[in-house]
Amino acid sequence: MSRDNLDSILREDRKFPPDAGFIGKARINRVALSAMQAHAERNLEEFWAGLAREELSWHRPFSEVLDRGQAPNFRWFADGELNASWNCLDVHLATHAERTAILFEGEPGDSRRLTYRELHGEVCRLANGLKALGIGSGDRVVIYMPMVPEAVIAMQACARIGAVHSVVFGGFSAHSLRDRIQDTGARLVITADGGHRGGKVIELKAAADKAVADGCDTVEAMVVLRRTGAPVAMQPGRDTWWSDLVADQPDQCPPVFVGAEHPLFLLYTSGSTGKPKGIQHSTGGYLLGAKLTTKWVFDLREDDVFWCTADVGWITGHSYVCYGPLAAGATIVMYEGAPSVPDGGRFWSICERLGVTVFYTAPTAIRALMKLGDDIPARHDLSRLRLLGTVGEPINPEAWMWYRDVIGGGRCPVVDTWWQTETGAIMISPLPGVTSTKPGSCTLPLPGVFADIVDESGEPVTDENKGGYLVIREPWPSMARTIWGDNQRYLDTYWARFDGRFYTAGDSAHRDRDGYFWIMGRIDDVLNVAGHRLGTMEVESALVAHPRVAEAAVVGRPHEIKGEAIFAYVVLRGDRPMGAAAAALTEELRAWVAEELGAIARPDDIRLTDNLPKTRSGKIMRRLLRSIARGEEISQDTSTLENPSILDQLRGEG
Ligand code: PRX
């Protein structure tokens, strides 16, 4: 656990209570919160059961709330039946079919608006098309799309017929896509000719072709959306244009009601081994968590325009673009491209033009936009904003203050939300009408969430500001159910550390004198680069797959904008080149990793060395490598190093 992190945060003592105007209108006030907390403490199952009955529309009501029989593989509302797409779309048709569901803006400037009625129709047409392709309940469908409304339509259409979607972020490489298609055993891939990002066209169909070319025998069909108009090769018998598939389909499609535990989706995330994990989420519990937290944390109301900037390739885009806000009947904004196109004012221009009231983004974006200066947001009217949120990594107090003052005009509460792919929904976060916020703290657990900090032996850490493992003591409905195809790994990763007593998040945290949580970072070999999780092992495996590389060790170092940057030490086969040849090889390796895993995994630094520092038992001394990457004094014992001169090389001096 990092000392610096702890110290810098400890100096923070600013506190911002919600203002009276906000409190007066908030969905959850102090009284309501106390009642909910008391209820959850008194009877956790009854607490969640009541909410599940109120918030979701059940085709068949559940009689059992929580099944602990196979703990920690908990089951929620298991004998109930429902459909997620029904709960996001059909439930709104009687009362507000003409309300805007999606306000879309493409990177080139094109725009679209879909009402709930239109979105429902599009989802039904695609769902019928998928059925025509032979896709049914339980089949896996991989979605590899740009951030356009069709990405949400594809997810909802899968949910409508009980198919299990697995969205792969469009920035991932063909290689990563192939791994995920193989692991899911998908029968269908839904993609697009391409997407617009950063002023360039990202060729998704070409990458999808490359992915399935080798060892993806389960894939029978590919549906291709025309987005950029770039020419693509269509394989006869396998590939269908989206527009052709839905052309003659009716805009009604009866939903397939599934058991509450039926998997809604798989989403891959990095862990401490080279192989990403397919996190499996349920239909009932997940949807309940996504909807409730949208209403509680973002205080969402009918007239709100909610913009969560996350791509649907991440969990944030699942819970706070596709499922939560639609289940809550809100209007969402979707933007296809980069925040820097045509200039660093794009986010603020969208907020102004589309009248965004609630805005949710990542610290890395906030820091990047902050760096461009206050003049850019000052050119835009941001007065419609009433609430700001952040997610994905710890936010430094300076960026938090900038966000609050410059973007929120000092009047919008800032909710720093802690959660994970595995938790499905926000777990620790301010409630904007109740909680006083502190820059850099995600504050307190939501009602029904029993978060704690424990020491090595699982005993609660009660001392102020003392770090420990962040754990969750009681199950919650939106928790991951398992890792697809590898339940043992699920048990080992999240439950074994404390003998199944509680869920271990893999983060370290401490609490201050008010009981507020401060997340300090990961405790495993997982990096958090620009809010995205990457396993050091994944990058190492990609590096050693290069013919010139014998061995590699990857660590993180702090980065001003991205939070963490990737630093790789590489031992080559054969001689180590010098000068220009070394520089050329380093560039080649960086490009190689980007090709293998996707651009987000491209190492920032690569240092070529003759050896890696190892302990006598052969373990790589990662702490030492981390200190060197950070340019810190070396405090570790280096006397066991076989060849002490290696230190100069690791520092880049030899
Ligand atoms: O380390 C925590 C960090 O992101 C991890 C989860 O990553 P992922 O599953 O990709 O989900 C990201 C979006 C929910 C956590 O283990 N993290 C997430 N939110 C915060 C955070 N760290 C500090 N503060 C947060 N608000």
Whether 179 lines ligand 1, by a CB cut-off of 6 Å, is no
Q: Per residue in 533-542, pLDDT tens? A: 898 988 998 9
What is the atom index within ligand 1 of the atom nearest the CA of 422? Answer: 9
Whether 311 lines ligand 1, by a CB cut-off of 6 Å, is no
| pLDDT score for 302 | 82
| pLDDT score for 10 | 53
Residue 416 Cα to ligand 1 midpoint, Å, equals 10
Q: Which residues contact 305 (CB under 8 A, 6 or more apart)?
A: 103, 331, 332, 333, 354, 355, 356, 357, 358, 384
What is the atom index within ligand 1 of the atom nearest the CA of 314? Answer: 10
Whether 506 lines ligand 1, by a CB cut-off of 6 Å, is yes
Whether 505 lines ligand 1, by a CB cut-off of 6 Å, is yes
Pairing outcome for strands 221-225 and 239-241: parallel
Whether 417 lines ligand 1, by a CB cut-off of 6 Å, is yes
Please give the Cα distance from 309 to 358 (Å, whole number).
11
Whether 271 lines ligand 1, by a CB cut-off of 6 Å, is no
Peptide bond into 72 cis (omega under 30): yes
Q: How many CB atoms lie within 10 A of CB 619?
A: 9
Residue 221 Cα to ligand 1 midpoint, Å, equals 35
Whether 419 lines ligand 1, by a CB cut-off of 6 Å, is yes
DSSP assigned state of 560? T
* DSSP code string of 205-258: HHHHHHHHTTT-TT--EEEEE-SS-------TTTEEEHHHHHTT--S------E
Report which protein residue has its CA nearest ligand 1's atom 25. Answer: 418
Q: Is 461 exposed, middle or buried (0-12, 13-18, 19+ CB in 10 A)?
A: middle
Task: State which of 12, 393, 600 you would mutate to test the pocket of ligand 1, scoring each by most atoms of that ligand within 8 A of its C-beta.
Answer: 393
Please give the Cα distance from 121 to 291 (Å, whole number).
22
Residue 17 Cα to ligand 1 midpoint, Å, equals 24
Whether 320 lines ligand 1, by a CB cut-off of 6 Å, is no
Report which protein residue has its CA nearest ligand 1's atom 11. Answer: 420
Pairing outcome for strands 387-391 and 358-361: parallel
Residue 276 Cα to ligand 1 midpoint, Å, equals 16
Whether 294 lines ligand 1, by a CB cut-off of 6 Å, is no
Q: Is the C-alpha dihedral spanning 531, 535, 538, 541 positive or negative? A: positive
What is the atom index within ligand 1 of the atom nearest the CA of 390? Answer: 26
Please give the Cα distance from 622 to 637 (Å, whole number).
12
What is the atom index within ligand 1 of the atom nearest the CA of 429? Answer: 26
Whether 270 lines ligand 1, by a CB cut-off of 6 Å, is no
Report which protein residue has its CA nearest ligand 1's atom 23. Answer: 394
Residue 430 Cα to ligand 1 midpoint, Å, equals 15
Please give the Cα distance from 175 to 210 (Å, whole number).
8
Strand arrangement, sheet containing 468-472: 451-454, 468-472, 503-511, 517-522
Report which protein residue has its CA nearest ligand 1's atom 24. Answer: 394
DSSP assigned state of 394? P
Please give the Cα distance from 178 to 593 (Å, whole number).
15
Whether 522 lines ligand 1, by a CB cut-off of 6 Å, is yes
Please state, in angstroms and as integers, the Cα–Cα distance from residue 583 to each residue in 576, 577, 612, 644, 646, following that order.
11, 9, 20, 25, 20
Report which protein residue has its CA nearest ligand 1's atom 22. Answer: 393
Residue 393 Cα to ligand 1 midpoint, Å, equals 5
Phi, psi (5° rounding) for residue 481?
Answer: -90, -35
Please give the Cα distance from 648 to 654 (Å, whole number).
5
Whether 416 lines ligand 1, by a CB cut-off of 6 Å, is yes
Task: Enumerate residue ranges in the chain where pLDDT < 70.
Answer: 1-11, 616-617, 640, 642
Please give the Cα distance from 564 to 546 (Å, whole number).
24
Whether 415 lines ligand 1, by a CB cut-off of 6 Å, is no
DSSP assigned state of 153? H
Tell me how many helices (H) and strands (E) the chain has.
23, 30
| pLDDT score for 11 | 61
Task: State which of 319, 418, 428, 520 you would mutate to test the pocket of ligand 1, scoring each by most atoms of that ligand within 8 A of its C-beta.
Answer: 418
8 A C-beta contact, residue 483 and residue 490: yes
Q: How many CB atoms lie within 10 A of CB 514?
A: 12
Residue 441 Cα to ligand 1 midpoint, Å, equals 13
Q: Per residue in 167-211, pLDDT tens? A: 999 999 999 999 999 999 999 999 999 999 999 999 999 999 999
